[in-house]
């Protein structure tokens, strides 16, 4: 055993190191050189999932319940497998709408509901405090174990309990690095860096413990397993204890890995780059796999060598016979506990301040009104609320652990926490894919789910501490056996936890769906639902808001300044004015886009429910009607699609322009670097460069043409045009091309020459394009025929060639932009030609020439003057 | 839905089936395979395959 003072010094040194790392992380973030900008660090920080429960509790669970402990890691492995779908969407939505906690997410999705946000925050606190208590308990009891004392802490006065001091140090850490400033994104790089480091420490320490037990105390894995197999009493440790529990624990942990406050904080709020999710989708499950390899071996070794007096929850430490190793293992456990506590309290502090305290404070009208001006810096108030929350949560956790004493098991209480946050799944994850989900549905489901959770899961746990009479759990309330919490309505066979999870989630989902289907949504709810569900298809256009009101710029700016400071508020307004291009005097009314930006910025600081209330109070807003919201959301989608088309076009144009440019550059460099090239070679290169430059010019002109056509800015002079003269002019203009390639050109004009009601230059451009394509695809000594005819209301020009023809599947595609046919060229000519003739109400299409698959005929159909029809 | 995403879902669903009743019960026997308990080795093997499959698929998504 290690002297207590050594343990204290090492623990303090370790915590000091954490402060150092977090400080460095914050410094680097401020300098723009992030420590945590990698998928690996993101995956490691996600491993905050592995707490004392994993570190000590899993072994205890394995010793008593067999392989069931693994379900808690299989669920996350499955959830991360499809993180590209679920987690990524959570991140996208949260980033775009500046959501910084679970409760804000719920509030924002369901029309900025204060009630729903408050309920989520409350459940999170109630469900998590016992879990925090267990981490403190683990630190306290392992401290006593490693320093040679009794494990139980019930006879130690509270002020002498290590856990109290650990709790205070952690509160200091969370306050220093988690609430240093009110940031619109609520990201804390220092904290994340420290958490990632803790994940490394606990993994290394646990592996060291496992390796020592397996190879030091036993002759390797097979030796250990064979020894266990020879002991019939250990058969249950390597078996599965009931498949009902097994299934529901996997479901539970798959939800928990996304919806526990600390997981949401790390996975969503602290995410630096969405692409890191890809790395984490396999690296985080791999971490969990590795940390679990030695759980069963340690449990078996404990059962084989330690007596029944030793609690299985302490096997990891109790098996270490070298004091240095024991100290390392203790530090590993400390890292597992502290990581969880730090992130959990920071996450809870955001929730409590955004969803419970601020909305309550803002109910008092004077807070939003002009009288608030003398109450200068509200941002500091928010920070103070968060700091107090952190301290209160930690002290609550410590108190809970002191009061319950040794009655609670690590894993049992942890599972109760998991089941509490799993109640968020229908409203949050369901609401991310189902637009029809309503606020009332979410409220009903969540409330019923949590009531059943309290009855079937929390109460039996509390009965162990004596807070609830044990007879209720054993015999049912008033002796009604059908209402026994762990066998509700007589349901048995899936284990106590499985049954509780089943009932609570069943009722939760049923009410969520039922009430949503039965009720109606408010316009704001419908609008937010569409923006959340279709996150990849809709961007709110400038000024997309579901409320209408008016507020002077100065008042809006002052409101923001009270939370983020005068400088940041002024910067936001200035930037908006610059983008708008028109000066915006202080007394002018703010345009909807500015109001939206201010509300989003406020959301980052105080959460969506409070932000909504604040803006509504200064702007005297009223909600829009359903029709207006639907129109706004539809418009957002339309704009988004136009944007996408434009992006595609720009990408293709740039790509096409690069080809000739590359050639020109290559030959220029050859000429520059080889001054003594033979003249004929030089001439050849210059010739190529000239050709490519020409092609480039043509392409740029065509892109400009196309842009003009598509924006409807091309100007046409539509008159009655004699097609015979146009065709003849086009033929003589291209005559040289035909002579050069020895291709014959036949022109046949029907009768005196049909008239068409078109722009002459436009038709000329189309014909030149068709003729030059035709001569390119026709082999030497072939033939190109042009025929002009008029029949019932349409004049037609056929251009037929002897080329390879156009396969039926491509007959529409060749008119797309950048779809090059056999003719080569820019790929824009046919697209432009078709658009030109369409401007005059004409058509352009291609067909076979004679149907034998050889050659193609392009037919231009043009309208004839009205009096001739 | 991109093909990579569809494949990720398929792989995850397959792993979920392997991790639960009834497939899992086929391996829940008190025997040692290469000195390792059968069901323990089975769970870790499926898990490892899942990790590798997700790693390969998510790299391809670039």
Tell me the shortest Cα–Cα distance from B24 to chain A, in angstroms. 9
User: Could you tell me which residue, A545 or A228, shows the higher pLDDT?
Assistant: A228
Residue A699 in contact with residue A661, Cβ under 8 Å? no
Of the options 2.60.40.3140, 3.20.20.60, 3.30.565.10, 3.40.718.10, the CATH number for the domain spanning A718-868: 3.30.565.10
Cβ of B49 under 8 Å from any chain A Cβ? Answer: no
Spell out the alpha helix ranges (H) of A674-716: 679-711
Average pLDDT over residues A436-454: 93
Cβ neighbours of A98 (radius 10 Å) = 21
Average pLDDT over residues A536-544: 63
**Does the distance separating the beta carbons of A225 and B47 come in below 8 Å?**
no
Cβ of A518 under 8 Å from any chain B Cβ? Answer: no
Cβ of A92 under 8 Å from any chain B Cβ? Answer: no
Q: What is the pLDDT, as a whole number, of residue A635?
A: 56
Tell me the shortest Cα–Cα distance from A654 to chain B, in angstroms. 22
pLDDT at A440 over 70: yes
Q: What is the pLDDT, as a whole number, of residue A370?
A: 44
What percent of chain A has a predicted confidence (pLDDT) above 70?
89
| Interatomic CA distance for residues A202 and A195, integer angstroms | 11
Cβ of A488 under 8 Å from any chain B Cβ? Answer: no
Cβ of B55 under 8 Å from any chain A Cβ? Answer: yes
| Interatomic CA distance for residues A590 and A448, integer angstroms | 43
pLDDT 10s digits, A603-644: 888 888 778 778 877 777 766 666 666 666 665 555 566 666
Q: Where are the domains of chain A?
A: 4-363+375-411, 423-538, 544-623, 628-711, 718-868
Average pLDDT over residues A120-146: 89
Tell me the shortest Cα–Cα distance from B23 to chain A, in angstroms. 11
Tell me the shortest Cα–Cα distance from A82 to chain B, in angstroms. 6
pLDDT 10s digits, A339-392: 999 999 999 999 999 888 888 877 665 544 444 434 567 778 888 889 999 999
pLDDT bucket at A821, cuts 50 / 70 / 90: low
pLDDT 10s digits, A234-266: 877 788 877 888 899 999 999 999 999 999 999
- CA dihedral over A731, A735, A738, A742, signed as positive or negative: positive
Q: Where are the domains of chain B?
A: 3-60
Mean pLDDT (chain A) is 83
Cβ of B23 under 8 Å from any chain A Cβ? Answer: no
Chain B residues within 8 A of A82 when measuring between CB atoms: 8-9, 12
Cβ of B36 under 8 Å from any chain A Cβ? Answer: yes
| Interatomic CA distance for residues A543 and A592, integer angstroms | 5
Cβ of B6 under 8 Å from any chain A Cβ? Answer: no
Q: What is the pLDDT, as a whole number, of residue A365?
A: 55
Average pLDDT over residues A803-830: 69
**Does the distance separating the beta carbons of B54 and A282 come in below 8 Å?**
yes
Q: What is the pLDDT, as a whole number, of residue A357?
A: 87
Q: How many residues does chain A have?
A: 869
Cβ of B52 under 8 Å from any chain A Cβ? Answer: yes
Q: What is the pLDDT, as a whole number, of residue A448?
A: 95
Closest alpha carbon within chain A to B27: A239
Q: Which of A685, A707, A606 is nearest to A357 (CA)?
A: A606
pLDDT at A648 over 80: no
Cβ of A229 under 8 Å from any chain B Cβ? Answer: yes
Average pLDDT over residues A655-673: 84
pLDDT bucket at A453, cuts 50 / 70 / 90: very high
| Interatomic CA distance for residues A570 and A568, integer angstroms | 6
**Does the distance separating the beta carbons of B30 and A250 come in below 8 Å?**
no
Cβ of A246 under 8 Å from any chain B Cβ? Answer: yes
- CA dihedral over A647, A648, A651, A654, signed as positive or negative: negative
| Interatomic CA distance for residues A303 and A238, integer angstroms | 12
Chain B residues within 8 A of A78 when measuring between CB atoms: 12, 15-16, 19, 50
**Does the distance separating the beta carbons of A77 and B50 come in below 8 Å?**
yes
- Whether this prediction's pTM lies above 0.95 is answered by no
Q: What is the pLDDT, as a whole number, of residue A238?
A: 83
Q: What is the pLDDT, as a whole number, of residue A408?
A: 67
Q: Which residue has the tokens 């050189």?
A: A33
pLDDT at A107 over 60: yes
Least confident interval from A4-18, A99-113, A790-804: A790-804
Q: What is the pLDDT, as a whole number, of residue A723?
A: 87
Q: Which residue has the tokens 């969503």?
A: A268
pLDDT 10s digits, A281-319: 999 999 999 999 999 999 999 988 887 888 888 888 888
Span A628-711: which CATH code? 1.10.287.130
Average pLDDT over residues A832-861: 80
Q: What is the pLDDT, as a whole number, of residue A869?
A: 45
**Does the distance separating the beta carbons of B16 and A84 come in below 8 Å?**
no
Average pLDDT over residues A76-94: 91
Q: What is the pLDDT, as a whole number, of residue A852?
A: 57
Average pLDDT over residues A522-547: 73
Highest mean pLDDT among A55-69, A246-260, B48-62 belongs to A246-260
Coil, helix or strand for A31?
Answer: coil
Tell me the shortest Cα–Cα distance from A517 to chain B, in angstroms. 27
| Interatomic CA distance for residues A90 and A80, integer angstroms | 13
Contacts of A302 (CB under 8 A, 6+ apart): A59, A63, A310, A312, A315, A318, A319
Least confident interval from A203-217, A336-350, A552-566: A552-566
Q: Which CATH architecture has domain A4-363+375-411?
A: Up-down Bundle (1.20)
Highest mean pLDDT among A66-70, A193-197, A759-763 belongs to A193-197
Tell me the shortest Cα–Cα distance from B52 to chain A, in angstroms. 7
Is residue A698 packed enough to be buried (19+ CB in 10 Å), middle (13-18) or exposed (0-12)? middle
Q: What is the pLDDT, as a whole number, of residue A372?
A: 42
Residue/partner pairs of A34-40 with CB below 8 Å, 24 or more apart: A34/A189, A34/A272, A35/A189, A35/A193, A36/A189, A36/A192, A36/A193, A36/A196, A36/A272, A37/A272, A37/A273, A38/A276, A38/A279, A39/A275, A39/A276, A39/A277, A39/A278, A39/A279, A39/A280, A39/A283, A40/A279, A40/A283
Q: What is the pLDDT, as a whole number, of residue A551?
A: 81
User: Could you tell me which residue, A840 or A372, shows the higher pLDDT?
Assistant: A840
Residue A457 in contact with residue A502, Cβ under 8 Å? no
């Amino acid at each position: 055993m290690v002297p207590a003072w050594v343990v204290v010094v090492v623990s303090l040194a370790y915590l000091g190191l954490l402060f150092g790392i977090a400080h460095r992380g914050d410094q680097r973030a401020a300098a723009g050189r992030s420590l945590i900008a990698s998928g690996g660090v993101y995956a490691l920080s996600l491993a905050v999932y592995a707490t004392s429960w994993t570190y000590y509790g899993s072994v205890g669970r394995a010793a008593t319940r067999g392989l069931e402990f693994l379900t808690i890691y299989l669920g996350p492995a499955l959830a991360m497998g499809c993180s590209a779908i679920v987690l990524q969407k959570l991140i996208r939505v949260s980033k775009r709408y500046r959501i910084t906690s679970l409760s804000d997410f719920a509030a924002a999705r369901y029309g900025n509901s204060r009630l729903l946000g408050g309920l989520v925050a409350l459940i999170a606190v109630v469900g998590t405090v016992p879990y925090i208590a267990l981490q403190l308990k683990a630190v306290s009891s392992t401290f006593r174990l490693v320093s040679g004392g009794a494990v139980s802490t019930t006879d130690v006065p509270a002020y002498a309990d290590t856990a109290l001091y650990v709790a205070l140090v952690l509160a200091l850490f969370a306050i220093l690095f988690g609430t240093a400033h009110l940031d619109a994104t609520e990201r804390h790089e220092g904290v994340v860096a420290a958490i990632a480091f803790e994940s490394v420490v606990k993994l290394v320490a646990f592996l060291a413990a496992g390796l020592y037990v397996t190879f030091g105390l036993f002759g390797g894995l097979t030796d250990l397993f064979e020894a266990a197999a020879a002991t019939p009493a250990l058969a249950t440790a390597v078996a599965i204890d009931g498949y009902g529990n097994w299934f529901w624990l996997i479901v539970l942990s798959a939800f928990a890995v996304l919806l526990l406050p600390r997981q949401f904080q790390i996975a969503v709020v602290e995410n630096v780059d969405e692409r890191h999710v890809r790395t984490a989708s396999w690296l985080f499950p791999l971490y969990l796999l590795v940390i679990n390899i030695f759980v069963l071996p340690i449990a078996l070794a404990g059962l084989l060598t330690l007596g029944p007096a030793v609690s299985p929850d302490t096997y990891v430490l109790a098996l270490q016979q070298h004091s240095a190793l024991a100290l390392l293992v203790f530090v590993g456990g400390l890292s597992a506990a502290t990581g969880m506590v730090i992130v959990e309290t920071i996450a809870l502090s955001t929730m409590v301040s955004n969803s419970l305290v601020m909305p309550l404070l803002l109910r008092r009208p004077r807070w939003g009104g002009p009288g608030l001006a003398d109450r200068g810096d509200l941002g500091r108030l928010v920070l103070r609320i968060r700091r107090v929350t952190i301290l209160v949560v930690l002290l609550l956790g410590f108190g809970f652990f002191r009061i319950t004493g040794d009655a609670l098991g690590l894993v049992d209480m942890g599972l109760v926490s998991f089941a509490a946050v799993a109640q968020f799944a229908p409203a949050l994850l369901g609401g991310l894919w189902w637009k029809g989900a309503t606020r009332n549905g979410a409220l009903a489901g969540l409330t019923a789910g949590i009531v059943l959770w309290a009855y079937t899961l929390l109460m039996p746990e509390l009965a162990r501490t004596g807070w609830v009479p044990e007879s209720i759990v054993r015999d049912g309330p008033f002796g009604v056996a059908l209402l026994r919490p762990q066998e509700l309505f007589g349901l048995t066979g899936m284990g106590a936890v499985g049954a509780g999870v089943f009932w609570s989630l069943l009722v939760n989902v049923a009410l969520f769906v039922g009430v949503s289907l039965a009720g109606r949504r408010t316009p704001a709810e419908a609008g937010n639902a569409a923006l959340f569900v279709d996150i990849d298809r809709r961007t709110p256009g400038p000024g997309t808001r579901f409320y209408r009101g008016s507020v002077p710029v100065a008042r809006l700016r002052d409101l923001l300044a009270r939370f983020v400071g005068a400088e940041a508020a002024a910067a936001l307004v200035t930037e908006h004015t610059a983008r708008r291009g028109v000066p915006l005097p202080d007394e002018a009314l703010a345009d909807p886009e500015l109001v939206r930006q201010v509300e989003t910025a406020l959301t980052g600081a105080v959460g969506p429910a409070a932000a909504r209330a604040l803006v509504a109070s200064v702007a005297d807003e009223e909600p829009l009607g359903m029709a207006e919201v639907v129109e706004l959301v539809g418009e957002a989608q339309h704009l988004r699609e136009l944007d996408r088309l434009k992006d595609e076009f720009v990408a293709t144009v740039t790509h096409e322009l690069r080809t000739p440019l590359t050639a020109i550059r290559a030959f220029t460099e050859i000429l520059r670097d080889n001054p003594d090239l033979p003249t004929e070679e030089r001439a050849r290169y210059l010739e190529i460069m000239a050709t490519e430059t020409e092609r480039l010019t043509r392409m740029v002109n065509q892109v400009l043409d196309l842009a003009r056509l598509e924006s409807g800015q091309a100007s046409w002079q539509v008159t009655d045009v004699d097609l015979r003269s146009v065709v003849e002019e086009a033929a003589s203009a291209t005559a040289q091309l035909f002579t050069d390639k020895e291709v014959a050109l036949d022109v046949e004009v029907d009768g005196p020459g049909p008239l068409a009601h078109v722009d002459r230059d436009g038709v000329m451009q189309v014909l030149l394009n068709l003729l030059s394509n035709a001569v390119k695809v026709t082999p030497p000594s072939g033939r190109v025929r042009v025929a002009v005819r008029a029949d019932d209301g349409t004049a037609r020009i056929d251009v037929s060639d002897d080329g390879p023809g156009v396969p039926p599947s491509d007959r529409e595609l060749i008119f797309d932009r950048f779809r090059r046919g056999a003719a080569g060229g820019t790929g824009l000519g046919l697209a432009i030609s078709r658009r030109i003739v369409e401007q005059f109400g004409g058509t352009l299409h291609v067909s076979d020439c004679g149907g034998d698959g050889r050659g193609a005929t392009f037919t231009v159909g043009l309208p004839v003057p009205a009096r001739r029809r | 839905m991109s093909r990579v995403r569809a494949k990720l879902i398929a792989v995850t669903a397959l792993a979920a089936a392997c991790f639960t009743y009834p497939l899992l019960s086929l391996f829940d026997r008190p025997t040692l395979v290469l000195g390792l308990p059968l069901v323990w080795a089975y769970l870790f093997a499926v898990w490892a395959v899942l990790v590798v499959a997700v790693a390969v698929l998510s790299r391809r998504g670039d």
